[in-house]
Amino acid sequence: MRWFYHTQYRTDQPAHRRPCRSGHVEVNSHALITMLGLPAGIRIWLVAGITDMRSGFNGLTAKVETALEDAPFSGHVFLFRGRRGNVMKVLWSTGDGLCLLSKRLERGRFIWPQADSGKVHLTQAQLSMLLEGIDWKQPKHTRPVMTML
């Protein structure tokens, strides 16, 4: 699993970031989750349906404003999925600008609702499961739960 985010590459960046084509920087999943560090109170919205993954900042903010009738600069996190289901983009306003993150699964697909429009609220735990390719709608225990009565 790889995360890409767009930025200008500087030589003083940590070793876990590597420059890629088109000015993108590749970051491993653990480093990205640490970097995000979402503050309490932020709402995470999964955008139902399929989004054109060629869309950038302007296209995704326009979709949030028109289709969802929400404010893209509200500080909420918006998740978009591509047609194949193995690419996801995350749009997040940090107050001083927008972050656009992209993740592509090497195998498998992101679990997405069947609805064609609208949005679904996720918790931070569900977001973590989604980012790892786990079915966030019905997570299963890996072993039976034992109860002590």
Tens of pLDDT, residue by residue, the chain (149 residues): 445 554 433 344 444 444 444 445 555 444 555 556 777 788 999 998 889 999 999 999 999 999 888 999 988 999 999 999 899 999 988 888 888 989 888 888 888 888 778 898 988 888 888 888 777 777 765 566 666 66
Distance from CA of residue 4 to its chain's centroid?
11
Tokens of 35: 């970097």
- pLDDT at residue 9, rounded to an integer: 37
The sign of the CA dihedral 46, 49, 53, 59 is negative
At 19 the pLDDT is 46
Q: Per the domain annotation, does 149 fall within a domain? A: no
Residue 41 inside a domain? The answer is yes
Q: Does residue 82 fall inside a structural domain?
A: yes
Distance CA 27, CA 1 (A): 10
Number of folded domains that form the chain: 1
Q: Among residues 148, 106, 147, 105, which one has the least CA distance to residue 130?
A: 105
User: Which residue range(s) make up the domain with 117?
Assistant: 2-131
Domain annotation covers residue 147: no
| Structural domain includes residue 116 | yes
Q: What is the pLDDT of residue 27?
A: 53
| pTM of the model as a whole | 0.70
> What six digits make up the tokens of 63?
């979709």
Tell whether 87 is covered by a domain. Answer: yes
- Is 17 a domain residue? yes
Q: Is residue 7 part of a domain?
A: yes
Looking at residue 90, its pLDDT comes to: 92
User: CB-based contacts of 34: which residues, under 8 Å, 6+ apart?
Assistant: none
Cβ atoms of residues 45 and 124 within 8 Å: no
